[in-house]
Amino acid sequence: MSIAHVITEVNTYAYQLMQKIVSRQATVAVVGLGYVGLPLAVEKAKVGFSVLGIEQNPRRAHRVNAGQNYIRDVKDDELQELVRVGKIRAYTGFDNLPEADVIVICVPTPLDKNRDPDITYIKNVTNEIALRLRPGQLVTLESTTYPGTTQEVILPQLEENGLKVGKDFFLAYSPERVDPGNKRFTTQNTSKVVGGITPTCLEVAYTFYGQTIKQVIPVSSPAVAELTKVFENTYRAVNIALVNELMLLCDKMHLDVWEVVEAAGTKPFGIQTFFPGPGVGGHCIPIDPFYLTWKAREFDFHTRFIELAGEINIEVSYYVVEKVNQALNMLKKAINGSCILVLGVAYKKDIADVRESPAVRIIPQLLAKGAKVIYHDPYVSEVEPRDFHGYTAGSAALTEKNIREADCVLILTDHSCIDYEWVVQNAKIVVDTRNATKMVGKSREKILKI
């Protein structure tokens, strides 16, 4: 007998909720309409669910209700149509939560100043949900966090008012796997891991995600799903650190690390290609490993390998600044007083996301050494002081004049729309951290690669 049949017999709330989900009559509340929440809200609304978006940033909530998209992975016309027909509506408060049958938490989980996990947003949102929780609701957490958060933090808060998990309400963890700017893998066709507090919780959550996700992977507990998420990005962080350390060695050996990596990548087995760069960025790779190392200390276990990877990925930002210094020395200039034109402040190409971008660490270092920094990024019109440690500016036009007047051009993000050959031809000298100038045929003597 399947779990679904067991549920039919012993849990009316679960059965009724699953019926509403399968028939697309359920109302879904998505808490947090950022890079994860808004694409999720749109996918759910597209298949017929009514979606309540809860976004405490009034500007974002207003833009959603006006059908104005601000997430590149969401199609403008799809959001506009869903708002027009009333399938998506955004609110800045939580009072509409009792209307929802499913509540999905998609809030940020940053690190504090000591690089320890900060789950304040999760706790605050859970408290708001607990005040309004009613029988028959499913609550799922998608925010990246350390193993144990769902069971040890969220569950006790939700049960404070006497409702019992697996009986009166249902709780699960299903980590987001959003890759901003990825045109091949989207919310819909990226497999989804789900872990429930109880078998009934798992079955309800599995049913919910199965309506819009092509492949749902059930696991035995929320903790397994939580660890799966942090392991995925720790794996990437460690391998990026490995190739970054190779880059530092190649620099001393006067070898081209890009040539080495690309040659190694021709082997049809036993290797996955990772590329060096000015650091790691985005919400996941620079942060997730620290959630794991923090949790490991609870068990008197020190993740030395992971912590070393974090150190290397931070160290390369200082290496980039030293490369700029070397480039200016070749022109008999000091970094103090020089003008540095930074190309790209997003954490990867062809997106507008600056979260944990290498530029966030590198630009303040250049400023501290007395450089004048201007930047150009076709996707980021301005940067905020809170993101860049006090630095604020708007994107400068990428003109021949601005390139020629800069003492050094520093490529931190290899946006596809930039003509790098033209940049090199007009620049005094270029420091390329992304191999963006690989195909440049002329003036290669002006290029310093990391």
Q: Which residues are catalytic?
A: 284
Residue 286: φ, ψ to 5°: -75, -15
Which tokens go with 374?
């201007």
Through-space distance between the first and last CA atoms of the chain, rounded to whole angstroms: 60
Question: What number of CA atoms fall less than 13 Å from residue 29's CA on the CB side?
Answer: 28
Residue 151: φ, ψ to 5°: -75, -40
SS3 of residue 193 by DSSP:
strand
Name which of 146, 184, 126, 409 is nearest 288 in CA terms. Answer: 146
Q: Are 110 and 196 in contact (CB under 8 A)?
A: no
* CA–CA distance, 211 with 43 (Å, rounded to integer): 10
Q: What does the DSSP 8-state code read for residue 444?
A: G
For residue 215, count CB atoms less than 10 angstroms from its CB and return exposed for 0-12, middle for 13-18, buried for 19 or more: exposed
Q: Which helix H or strand E contains 132, and what residues bound it?
A: helix 120-132
At which residue do the structure tokens 């081209």 appear? Answer: 256
